[in-house]
Amino acid sequence: MLTIIQLAVLKDNYSHILHEPISGETAVIDPADAEPVLTILAAKGWKLDYVLNTHHHGDHVDGNLSLKRQTGCKIIGAKIDRHRIPGIDIEVEDGDLCRLGAENLSVIATPGHTLGHIAFYYAAGEAVFCGDTLFSLGCGRLFEGSATQMWQSLQKLKALPTNTKVYCAHEYTLANGRFALTVEPDNAKLKQRILEVEQLRRQNLSSLPSTMGLELDTNPFLREDSPAIRQAIAADAKSSPELVFSRLRELKDHFR
């Protein structure tokens, strides 16, 4: 099994270091900054073999070249974004496998936030590293893709087992929760989740990972069939789930 270390970087980002103990192989997902990664590697006595990028934004790839220069690691990213992933060595597509020692991570194409966004699903460890596609109680903005693309991407993640641990790339849970309450104020599980997260954040502790089951119960962007949400956005029973999602995303874009 992989050892997973969640590493807080920048203002509210998370990078994730994965280590396979038998082979000793190590990877980092979305290194926004090389130095915190190198610090952990030195403390653990691990050598970095791979960088895995979910998408091309700077707060996910800015550590790539420094890590490659200092460790000789290989950089893995989406084939469609080969011109935008710094230092890319290995190009992957939907359904490909990334091997780390005896363990495999499968690539899931999740366009929407960006056109080339991918997630890494570690089935054996019941974990998904979803970058900026799915957040706890929220989802990523549509910077490049369409609402249809993001909705379809979320359906892929929504279909993962409910006990799947959801490792997002940002600590946005409380801000997302404030919006979620405006469209589903009577969701008891949502209110409980927010209370728990408030307590964690007061102690400067992470709200992540979440689980897919928890997100299905509390995340409005995965709850397009909720009567309360449909009422809140003035969508009738005949409105498609995709339309409900699109309206929710538009509302969130203007929420303050």
44-56 average pLDDT score: 98
DSSP states along 130-143: EETTEETTEE---S
The vertex-10 CA angle with 145 and 135, nearest 5°, equals: 40
CA atoms within 13 Å, Cβ hemisphere of 124: 13
Homologous superfamily of 3-253:
Ribonuclease Z/Hydroxyacylglutathione hydrolase-like (3.60.15.10)
**Model confidence at 237: pLDDT above 80:** no
pTM exceeds cut of 0.75: yes
Torsion of CA 235, 240, 134, 206, to 10 degrees: 40
Beta-carbon contacts of residue 203 (< 8 Å; ≥ 6 apart): none
The distance in angstroms from the start CA to the end CA of the chain is 41
127-141 average pLDDT score: 98
Reported as a pLDDT band with limits 50, 70 and 90, residue 235 is: confident
Reported as a pLDDT band with limits 50, 70 and 90, residue 236 is: confident
Beta-carbon contacts of residue 59 (< 8 Å; ≥ 6 apart): 10, 13, 32
**Model confidence at 7: pLDDT above 80:** yes
CA atoms within 13 Å, Cβ hemisphere of 222: 27
Reported as a pLDDT band with limits 50, 70 and 90, residue 238 is: confident
For 45-62, b/e burial (b = at least 16 CB within 10 A) is: ebebbbbbbbbbbebbbb
pLDDT tens digits for 60-81?
Answer: 999 999 999 999 999 999 999 9
96-111 average pLDDT score: 98
Under DSSP, the state recorded for 247 is H
How high does pLDDT run on average in the chain? 97
Percentage of the chain modeled with pLDDT above 70 = 100
Reported as a pLDDT band with limits 50, 70 and 90, residue 239 is: confident
Residues 207/173, Cβ–Cβ less than 8 Å: yes
